[in-house]
């Protein structure tokens, strides 16, 4: 048995590597195909544009990843982002010239509060994540309208220093990419080398076993939603700064992009597995697809449909790969034990 489980673990590690290689391969293929169609796609300028687009998506997708690993989902990230961004924008509109860093902290704090509401409802209230965040999705969106009374906050109402937050650069590296890289490295370490990070996987893998092992499941669940809130609150400020406007319908549908990045990245929607590197590749692939649509002058209306299709394809592909891996394990095990019974697919750890 020890033998088999080692092999199983190896197979699962292989699985996530196959997934990531698959995404990279597909991404490269896409880049080659689009470049052949319109050569200006493969330019430094265009790729830094993609990186800038992906930066904000990646920051929020990291939060979404943690939530999905616990077996939940956060559909409120788009409206939460809009609300946090709008409150910061309104602060500027009303003439408070706060320092951009303070604005960033303020956004993060607002996001933290919004995320904590989800966290409390899911962990203490035992309201299913999909219901909680479907509810807060419309509440936060409605509140964005109420806060702004439907008006926009425009570029001329924001100080130049604030707009420089997302558009500036340190030693030639754009701030946005710098911040996204910091978040990525920080959370890579958090997920793979810290106790609470590992506990997130444990809770998603089997919450009852995690509880019996002495993990405070409620606290972990609360944490992932709260941290996601913090991340989208921070992203909201970067968003408003980058596009130099806060609108009441900002980031609508953004929750789907984050779910897509996470699911393409190989995070299982059953919870318990998934790697942050996969999410990075997922977000990059989405960025490349969206940019390719622009470059090839395909109607932006396709974006929504393609995103949905990609989500479905990714989960179907995952299931098929998992099945074939499972079957080969079953075959090896069967050969060891001398029987050839098929092992059910749901038994995948």
User: Which DSSP state fits 173?
Assistant: E
Q: Which residues pair with 174 in a beta bridge?
A: 169
Strands (E) in the chain, as ranges, are 169-170, 173-174
**258: number of Cβ within 10 Å:** 33
Instruction: State the nearest-atom distance from the C-beta of 80 to other proteins, in Å.
Output: 12
The token pair at 213 is 């092992």
Of the candidate residues 45, 299, 338, 339, the single one contacting other proteins (CB under 8 A):
299
Number of amino acids touching other proteins (CB under 8 A): 45
Instruction: State the nearest-atom distance from the C-beta of 263 to other proteins, in Å.
Output: 7
304 binds other proteins (CB under 8 A): yes
Of the candidate residues 11, 31, 139, 325, the single one contacting other proteins (CB under 8 A):
139
Q: Check: CB of residue 281 under 8 Å from CB of residue 24.
A: yes
The token pair at 184 is 């990525």
Whole-number Å distance between alpha carbons of 119 and 254 = 20
Task: Kindly tell me which of 27 and 135 has the beta carbon lying closer to other proteins.
Answer: 135
Whole-number Å distance between alpha carbons of 13 and 8 = 9
DSSP H helical ranges for 124-194: 129-148, 160-167, 175-193
Task: Kindly tell me which of 220 and 310 has the beta carbon lying closer to other proteins.
Answer: 310
90 binds other proteins (CB under 8 A): no
251 binds other proteins (CB under 8 A): no
Task: Kindly tell me which of 69 and 180 has the beta carbon lying closer to other proteins.
Answer: 69
CB-based contacts of 213: which residues, under 8 Å, 6+ apart?
202
Closest CA to 268 of 198, 191, 201: 201
121 binds other proteins (CB under 8 A): yes
Whole-number Å distance between alpha carbons of 343 and 334 = 9
Of the candidate residues 4, 42, 177, 306, the single one contacting other proteins (CB under 8 A):
306
253 binds other proteins (CB under 8 A): yes
301 binds other proteins (CB under 8 A): yes
311 binds other proteins (CB under 8 A): yes
Whole-number Å distance between alpha carbons of 167 and 211 = 45
The binding track of 14-43 with respect to other proteins, each residue x by CB under 8 A or -, is: ------------------------------
Applying the rule CB under 8 A, the residues between 59 and 88 that interact with other proteins are 73
Binding residues for other proteins, rule: CB under 8 A, are 73, 121, 125-128, 130-132, 134-139, 141-143, 145-146, 150, 253, 256, 259, 263, 269-270, 299, 301-309, 311-312, 315-316, 319-320, 345-346
């Amino acid at each position: 048995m020890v033998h088999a489980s080692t092999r199983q673990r190896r197979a699962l590690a292989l699985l996530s590597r196959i997934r990531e290689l698959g995404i990279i391969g597909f991404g490269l293929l896409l880049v080659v195909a689009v470049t052949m169609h319109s050569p200006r796609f493969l330019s430094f300028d265009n790729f830094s544009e993609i990186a800038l687009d992906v930066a904000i998506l990646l920051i929020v997708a990291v939060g979404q990843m943690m939530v999905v690993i616990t077996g939940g989902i956060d559909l409120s990230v788009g409206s939460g982002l809009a609300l946090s961004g709008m409150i910061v924008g309104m602060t500027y509109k009303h003439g408070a010239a706060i320092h951009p860093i303070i604005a960033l902290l303020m956004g993060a704090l607002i996001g933290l509060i919004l995320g904590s509401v989800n966290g409390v409802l899911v962990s203490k209230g035992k309201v299913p994540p999909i219901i909680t965040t479907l509810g807060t999705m419309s509440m936060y969106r409605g509140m964005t309208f109420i806060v702004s009374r439907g008006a926009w906050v425009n570029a001329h109402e924001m100080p130049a220093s604030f707009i420089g937050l997302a558009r500036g650069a340190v030693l030639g590296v754009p701030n946005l990419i710098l911040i996204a890289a910091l978040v990525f490295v920080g959370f890579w370490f958090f997920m793979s080398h810290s106790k609470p990070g590992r506990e997130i996987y444990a809770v998603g893998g089997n919450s009852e076993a995690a509880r019996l092992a002495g993990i405070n499941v409620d606290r972990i669940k609360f944490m992932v939603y709260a941290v996601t809130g913090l991340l989208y609150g921070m992203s909201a400020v970067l968003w408003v700064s980058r596009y130099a406007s806060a609108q009441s319908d900002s980031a609508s549908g953004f929750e789907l992009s984050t779910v897509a990045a996470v699911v393409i990245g190989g995070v299982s929607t059953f919870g318990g597995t998934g790697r942050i590197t996969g999410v990075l590749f997922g977000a990059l692939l989405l960025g490349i697809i969206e940019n390719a649509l622009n470059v090839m002058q395909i109607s932006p209306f396709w974006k929504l449909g393609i995103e949905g299709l990609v989500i479905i394809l990714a989960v179907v592909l995952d299931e098929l790969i998992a099945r074939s891996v499972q079957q080969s394990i079953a075959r090896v095990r069967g050969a060891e034990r001398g029987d050839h019974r098929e092992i059910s697919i749901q038994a995948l750890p």
